[in-house]
């Protein structure tokens, strides 16, 4: 039986280069805080416990760890000091302890599991995820001899020979829970930055006769995020990963690089997505749906066989049933569209229930706000709403009813009813020419006045 895993997530960094009031680990990637990506990745390992290390006063960061406990690193004295702060919360854990960073959201659960498994197989006291860097200059170097990791040298402390090494430290480390307290206690701060480096645990383990190993990973997983530019680069990398996973699962993307997904976007097979589509948080798309170009969808469910767009916006709380058509320049907000309903163009449906097979004409508005409260519009099944109609909520349109074009509906319409909510047209024969002459003279007078 494999020993249980514990995870320590270091999230006490100030993130000053982000130049933000928002703590670095709470900045979003694919519409999810980066620390939540980290927590999701470690959750796949089914750890016995997860402990977050946060800065003093970082209540919002501590809350982001819930339901996992957090401890406070009272002073920013380095990664070794931060890891040591978590020892009490580990409760004497004797299995492997995985130490990860809250600002490293691209490290996959597969790589984390590889590290833990390698440490178990090699009976290593310390294991580190490493990578071959295109530019190793910012990173600590992994000094490996005959397959054994002897030490990690921080970039600022490396000599000229060590600087030639391109096998670099990712920061992700696995330590034997039976030895971790002793290793952390032995770390000193005799370095350029006068900090307690967690990386020194490697040399300490080797000096005590224990084995240390390095497991190679892909550099793309270990992108640091310390600035807005690096945040953007990580967003790009994560979007590439999400798009690739969606297409591998049977989703068609006409121009993948223009489709923006959220971490929780759920796309069934045989979904087709046109160019320049954005999915905000909380979107679920069933199979055989077509999302045409320039749509924005957030917090909504789209049912099987629906067609959406182009240029449609579907806002949170909306539910689009099977075979619904949502056309160009249609906006839904907290609206339920029944099976086979259509709103093919130029409509705003806010806080509405649209029944099955009902047709919403161009220019229709569900008038949901009276300046003080939001109210619902209910349109039953098989209703026809004519173009340029305003449905002033709260209002109910009964089954099979017909609302004529240009109507303003302020009262309920019974099932099968025909509603006219507009002024009667008045036509005066032969009066167009005199009116045009009058308007033309007025325009000419205004033009002469302007010249003066």
Give the tens place of pLDDT for each residue, 212-244. 999 999 999 998 899 999 999 999 999 999 999
pLDDT tier for residue 278 given thresholds of 50, 70 and 90: very high
Q: Say whether pLDDT at 170 is over 90.
A: yes
CA distance linking residue 298 with residue 284, whole number of Å: 9
Give the tens place of pLDDT for each residue, 334-361. 999 999 999 999 999 999 999 999 999 9
Residue 385 and residue 359 in contact, taking contact as beta carbons nearer than 8 Å: yes
Of 299, 298, 292, the C-alpha closest to 277 is: 292
Residue 100 and residue 58 in contact, taking contact as beta carbons nearer than 8 Å: no
Of 25, 34, 199, 175, the C-alpha closest to 97 is: 175
Give the tens place of pLDDT for each residue, 50-109. 999 999 999 999 999 999 999 999 999 999 999 999 999 998 899 999 999 999 999 999
Q: Say whether pLDDT at 202 is over 80.
A: yes
pLDDT at residue 423 in the model? 86
3-class DSSP state of 430: coil
Give the tens place of pLDDT for each residue, 317-331. 999 999 999 999 999
Q: Say whether pLDDT at 191 is over 80.
A: no
- Tell me the two tokens of residue 167: 């096998």
pLDDT at residue 150 in the model? 95
Render 119-135 in DSSP notation, one character per residue: HHHHT-SEEEEEEE-SS
pLDDT at residue 333 in the model? 98
pLDDT tier for residue 119 given thresholds of 50, 70 and 90: very high
Mind telling me the catalytic residues?
345
CA distance linking residue 271 with residue 284, whole number of Å: 11
Residues pairing with 224 in the sheet: none
CA distance linking residue 409 with residue 55, whole number of Å: 57
Render 210-276 in DSSP notation, one character per residue: --EEEEE--GGGG----SHHHHHHHHHHHHHHHHHHHHHTT-EESSGGG-B--TT-EE-TT-EE-SS
- The half-sphere exposure of 181 on its side-chain side, counting CA atoms within 13 A, is 10
C-beta neighbour count of 144 within 10 angstroms: 18
Q: Mean pLDDT over all residues of the chain? A: 95
CA distances from 169 to 5, 113, 262 (A): 22, 17, 29
What mean pLDDT do residues 139-150 have?
A: 94
Q: How far is CA 342 from the centre of its chain?
A: 30
Percent residues over pLDDT 70 in the chain? 100
CA distance linking residue 368 with residue 65, whole number of Å: 38
CA angle 137, 143, 145 (to 5 degrees): 150
Give the tens place of pLDDT for each residue, 381-413. 999 999 999 999 999 999 999 999 999 999 999
C-beta neighbour count of 44 within 10 angstroms: 12
Indicate the helix (H) or strand (E) that contains 284.
strand 284-285
- Looking at per-residue pLDDT, the higher value among 359 and 447 belongs to 359
Return the DSSP state at 355.
-
Residues pairing with 132 in the sheet: 167
pTM summary value: 0.90
Who's near 414: CB < 8 A, 6+ residues apart? 398, 401
- Looking at per-residue pLDDT, the higher value among 8 and 160 belongs to 8
pLDDT tier for residue 192 given thresholds of 50, 70 and 90: confident
Dihedral, CA of residue 31, residue 34, residue 37 and residue 39, to nearest 10: -130
Which residue has 């996973």 as its token pair? 245
Q: Say whether pLDDT at 1 is over 80.
A: no
Percent residues over pLDDT 90 in the chain? 91
What mean pLDDT do residues 162-190 have?
A: 95
- Tell me the two tokens of residue 8: 């320590």
Q: Say whether pLDDT at 249 is over 80.
A: yes
Residue 345 and residue 362 in contact, taking contact as beta carbons nearer than 8 Å: yes
pLDDT at residue 28 in the model? 97
- Tell me the two tokens of residue 289: 């749906």
pLDDT at residue 451 in the model? 84
pLDDT tier for residue 424 given thresholds of 50, 70 and 90: confident
- Looking at per-residue pLDDT, the higher value among 30 and 447 belongs to 30
pLDDT at residue 281 in the model? 98
E-strand spans in 298-403?
300-302, 307-308, 313-314, 318-320, 325-333, 336-337, 342-350, 352-354, 359-360, 365-367, 377-379, 384-385, 390-392, 395-397, 402-403
pLDDT at residue 92 in the model? 84
């Amino acid at each position: 039986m494999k020993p249980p895993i514990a995870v320590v997530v270091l999230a006490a960094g100030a993130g000053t280069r982000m130049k933000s009031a928002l703590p670095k680990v709470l900045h979003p990637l694919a519409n999810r805080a980066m620390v939540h990506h980290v927590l999701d990745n470690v959750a796949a390992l089914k750890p016995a416990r997860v402990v977050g290390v946060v800065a003093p006063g970082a209540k919002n960061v501590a809350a982001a760890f819930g339901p996992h406990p957090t401890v406070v690193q009272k002073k920013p004295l380095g990664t070794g000091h931060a890891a040591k702060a978590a020892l009490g919360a580990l409760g004497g854990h004797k299995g492997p302890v995985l130490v990860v960073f809250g600002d490293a959201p691209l490290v996959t659960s597969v790589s984390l599991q590889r590290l833990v498994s390698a440490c178990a197989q090699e009976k290593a006291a310390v294991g580190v995820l490493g990578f071959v860097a295109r530019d190793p200059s910012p990173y600590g170097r992994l000094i490996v001899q005959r397959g054994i990791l002897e030490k990690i040298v921080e970039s600022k402390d490396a000599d000229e020979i060590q600087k030639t090494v391109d096998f670099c430290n990712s920061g992700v480390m696995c330590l034997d829970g039976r030895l971790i307290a002793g290793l952390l206690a032995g770390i000193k701060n005799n370095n350029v930055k006068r900090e307690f480096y967690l990386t020194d645990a490697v040399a300490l383990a080797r000096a005590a006769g224990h084995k240390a190993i390095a497991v190679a990973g892909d550099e793309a997983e270990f992108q640091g995020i310390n600035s807005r530019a690096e945040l953007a680069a990580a967003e790009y990398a994560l979007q590439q990963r999400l798009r690739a996973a969606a297409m591998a699962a049977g989703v068609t993307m006409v121009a993948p690089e223009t489709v923006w997904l959220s971490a929780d976007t759920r796309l069934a097979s045989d979904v087709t997505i046109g160019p320049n589509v954005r999915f905000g948080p909380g979107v679920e798309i069933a199979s055989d749906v077509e999302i045409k170009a320039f749509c924005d969808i957030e917090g909504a469910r789209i049912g099987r066989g629906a067609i959406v767009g182009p240029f449609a916006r579907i806002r949170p709380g909306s539910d689009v049933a099977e075979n619904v058509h949502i056309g160009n320049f249609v906006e839904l907000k907290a609206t339920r569209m029944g099976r086979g309903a259509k709103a093919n163009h130029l409509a705003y449906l806010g806080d509405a229930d649209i029944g099955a097979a009902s047709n919403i004409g161009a220019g229709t508005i569900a008038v949901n706000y009276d300046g003080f409260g939001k109210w619902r519009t209910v349109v039953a099944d098989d209703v026809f709403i004519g173009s340029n109609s305003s449905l002033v909520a709260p209002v109910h349109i009964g089954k099979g009813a017909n609302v004529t074009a240009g109507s303003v509906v302020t009262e309920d319409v019974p099932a099968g009813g025909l509603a006219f909510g507009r002024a009667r047209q008045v036509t005066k024969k032969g009066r167009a020419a005199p009116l045009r002459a009058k308007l033309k003279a007025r325009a000419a007078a205004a033009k002469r006045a302007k010249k003066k």
